[in-house]
Structure 1
Amino acid sequence: MTLLDKSLKRSFDIFFSAIGLLFMSPLIFLAFIVASLDTKSCGFFLQPRVGMCGKTFKVIKIRTMKPCSSLNTVVTTSKDPRITFCGRFFRKSKIDELPQLLNIFLGQMSFVGPRPDVPGFADLLENDDRIILSIRPGITGPATLKYRHEEDILAAQSCPEQYNNTVIFPDKVRINKKYIEEYSFFADLQYIWKTIFGR
């Protein structure tokens, strides 16, 4: 990715995240209120994620899950009992992702890029795979689109966490490396279009 690519990508992120925050603030606020009542906790969910250069930051999402003492995993399936009634709607409609517009505006994320993982995944990458940490993580991208129904895929596995670690995560690494190595701003626009319109 050239310096021009990085400048264009960041300019796009700043402009459209600001526009998004301006117009989506009422929906984000409403979702926050509903999530607070639904989960009986703060409607915003902040979680450490690994960002560019391996630095951690706190991703901001609408809270969609409640505590469950019988589960202790960061891998979520569509059958996860921690997901609340309203949370399922927020996750399916992607409304829970809207607060990440602030992460983008602050320069912690981008619209397009590898999804930011919790510590214990991307930060443990080695050798050429660490190219994934050379750019800001994103809300969407080729790997995100391929695994748009990841929670359903994991729900069909006998051991979701193992399947994620041995099949899905390595495949995402491969896809994200290719995305960076063959980067184009036009491709970013296509990923955003496919994310919004499902085409």
Structure 2
Amino acid sequence: MAVKRLFDVIFSFVGIIMLLPLFFLISLWIIIDSNGGVFYQQNRVGLFKENFKLLKFRTMKIGADKGSLLTIGNYDSRITRSGYWLRKYKLDELPQLFNVLKGEMSFVGPRPEVSKYVALYDIRQQRILSVKPGLTDWASIEFIDENQLLATSDNPEQYYIENIVPHKITQNLKYIDHHNLWIDVKIILLTIKSIIYR
């Protein structure tokens, strides 16, 4: 675990420094495109059920999260123009490098959920809260177009709870049982590839 944390600290710090010009351009784009702040923070459940503020670039109109917590399709009316492209290439997730640097997240680990859905976990499923949440995992690669999948359902939230969440948890439990630094690097590279070729 010490090696994993060292990896997280070094590469999150280097990543933040290298991406600062891109952060500035994205921030300017968001400001010009729509009213509201540059960043969006949301409470997520992390290691040992501790809540933390997950950081993203804002991709939706102010107050959009007062409705559904799920984004339905790539053309959800709540998504801003800049938000569409930021989401498409996962650029809205880049500020989570700060979460990684702070130790709230890791590069690889189960994606953190909101408490509403974590409350539905059974005892076996709660085991995924025994590791740090991550920027990406096997499930993130498999469900890279999750929004579009939800858009095909008559009841997106029910479909998410009954079909997607259990499958994600199964993938995450497999990761917990079989992971090391090399598997983490493989997941990171496959995530980058899936974003580029989606």
- Note closer, same or farther for the CA distance 1:123–1:50 as it changes in structure 2 (3 Å cut): farther
Q: Give the Cα separation in 2 of the matches to 1:110 and 1:52.
A: 10
Distance 1:123 1:54 in 2: 10
**Equivalent AA in structure 2 for residue 76 of structure 1:** T
Q: 1:47 aligns with which of 42, 45, 48?
A: 42
Q: CA deviation at 1:36?
A: 2.5
Choose the corresponding residue for 2:163, options 167, 178, 182.
167
Could you tell me how far 1:102 is from its partner in structure 2? 0.3
CA distance in 1, matches of 2:14, 2:51: 26
1:154 and 2:162 aligned? no
Deviations 1:103-139 (A, max 9, x none): 0000001111111111112254232212100111111
Shift of the 68–100 alpha-carbon distance from structure 1 to 2, 3 Å rule, reads closer
Q: 1:128 is matched with which residue?
A: 124
Q: What TM-score results when the alignment is normalised by the length of structure 2?
A: 0.92
What letter corresponds to residue 52 of structure 1 in structure 2?
L
Following superposition, the deviation at residue 154 of structure 1 comes to: 0.6
CA 1:154/1:41 → structure 2, altered by over 3 Å: closer, same or farther? same
Partner of 1:179: 175
Partner of 2:16: 21
Moved more, 126-135 or 6-15: 126-135
Q: In structure 2, what is the equivalent of residue 193 of structure 1?
A: 189
CA displacement 1:4-52 (0-9 Å, x = unmatched)? xx11111100000000000011111221221123230001001111110
Q: Which runs of 4+ in 1 moved over 6 A?
A: 68-71
Q: Distance in 1 between matches of 2:86 and 2:31?
A: 13
Please give the TM-score of this superposition, normalised by the length of structure 1.
Answer: 0.92
Alpha-carbon RMSD across the aligned residues, in angstroms, is 1.7
Query: Structure 1 136/123 Cα, relative in aligned 2: closer, same or farther at 3 Å?
Result: farther
Partner amino acid, structure 2, of 1:139: L
Letter in 1 for 2:107: F
CA shift, 1:71, in A, is 7.1
Q: Report if aligned partners of 2:35, 2:62 keep a CA contact under 8 Å in 1.
A: no
**SS at structure 1 position matched to 2:140:** helix
Secondary structure class of the residue paired with 2:150: helix
Q: Following the alignment from structure 1 to structure 2, what is the Cα–Cα distance between the partners of residues 180 and 110?
A: 13
The 1:32–1:161 alpha-carbon spacing in structure 2 relative to 1, beyond 3 Å, is same
Q: 1:71 to 1:194 in 2, by over 3 A?
A: same
- The one-letter amino acid paired with 1:9 is K
Q: In the alignment, does 2:57 pair up with 1:77?
A: no
Question: Gapped runs of 5+ residues in structure 2?
Answer: none
